[in-house]
Copies of this chain bind each other. A is one copy, B any other.
């Protein structure tokens, strides 16, 4: 059996129809069968049968008919929605000093969260997996939940992760390189496990809950210590050939430019990543270097020239790099998510200006831009979203097996 490129492999035609119907329902929140038929471009009969299977499986349910104000004649439509109580899914993100766990219901509504401190920011794979398992157990206990009630766990790691194969090429949180992480992880869990690159998780979060709803072709850029990106094309994460593309942070913005933490020169990250700003703004302040971005922002607001210039320059460089992305990908939308300190409006504006000025002009509207603050919970939420998606595929496939039996 050859290795398939999509995650929808081994779903037959009928299961694909069910999955599409399910995803349509999830995306819409609430939707009637007729509208699903329109959205899927298929017949009502097909939708009825697909939804019948989903209802029987308990994955969706019909919702109490809301009294519509618009006085409608005819048989009232029955709205369908994802049955939140059907399943619980855990999303886990490994950060530098903590493991974030969030447990959501099948609709993506948060049941609860938990944060486990992490002793070391980099440890052996085996130890990390144990720590993750412990964090999950703690979270379940805190929420009064049995681990058996969790239908799937999705884990997000920084670094070069092939989400399709579950192979970890490199991660800043793991001592070893080239670990076949997925089996290791799955061995310590009583339920299906999924692995994904952390920037891709933010993309998933946007697709499920944010600016990416209903879009099929968008980019999500994350800016924190480093710079990451998730690419959604045709509604699916684009992973590249080896499963580790989308390294926007290491796109070169300056020939023979500043040194990046990856050892190369001119990477975007070396101009707009947190560590780069701290480095640049601290020049000439030996012994009194800034500790965090917040310090720099405060200094700039207090009138410090260098800090202001560093921030302005970073904004412009980021805008130019984003313009390159637009020129290359021509996406429908871009989400720019920056962690922690809320930037001044002026910086955002400088970034957007640079973006606009450096985009190839086509007399067609620019892609939509969303600038948002990225909070720590987004990753775990994205992991949960990813988990929901993967588990729903499993559940729909499982139904098929039962039918056959």
Tell me the A residues contacting B by CB distance below 8 Å: 2, 5, 41, 160, 169-170, 177-178, 216-217, 229, 233-234, 238-248, 250-255, 257, 262, 264-266, 271, 316-317, 320-321, 323-325, 327-332, 357-358, 360, 362-365, 367
B252 engages A358 (CB within 8 Å) = yes
B250 engages A360 (CB within 8 Å) = yes
Who on chain B is nearest to A218 by CB? B241
Q: Which residues of B contact A160 (CB under 8 A)?
A: 360, 362
Complex: A74 Cα to B320 Cα, angstroms: 64
Contact of A329 among B245, B255, B323 (CB under 8 A): B245
Q: A241-B332, A330-B240 are in contact. Are A5 and B234 (CB under 8 A)?
A: yes
A-side binding surface: helix, strand, loop or mixed? loop
Would you list 11 pairs from A and B whose C-beta atoms are within 8 A, ordered by A residue? A178-B363, A242-B330, A245-B330, A247-B327, A247-B360, A248-B327, A252-B324, A253-B253, A254-B254, A254-B255, A325-B328
B329 engages A240 (CB within 8 Å) = yes
B250 engages A252 (CB within 8 Å) = no
Complex: A33 Cα to B233 Cα, angstroms: 34
A328 engages B328 (CB within 8 Å) = yes
CB distance from A190 to the nearest CB of B (A): 32
From A41, A234, A328, residue with most partner B Cβ within 10 Å: A328
Who on chain B is nearest to A320 by CB? B252
B169 engages A241 (CB within 8 Å) = no
B177 engages A331 (CB within 8 Å) = no
Q: Which residues of B contact A317 (CB under 8 A)?
A: 255
Q: A178-B363, A248-B328 are in contact. Are A357 and B242 (CB under 8 A)?
A: no
Complex: A62 Cα to B244 Cα, angstroms: 43
B330 engages A360 (CB within 8 Å) = no
Q: Which residues of B contact A262 (CB under 8 A)?
A: 360
Who on chain B is nearest to A321 by CB? B252
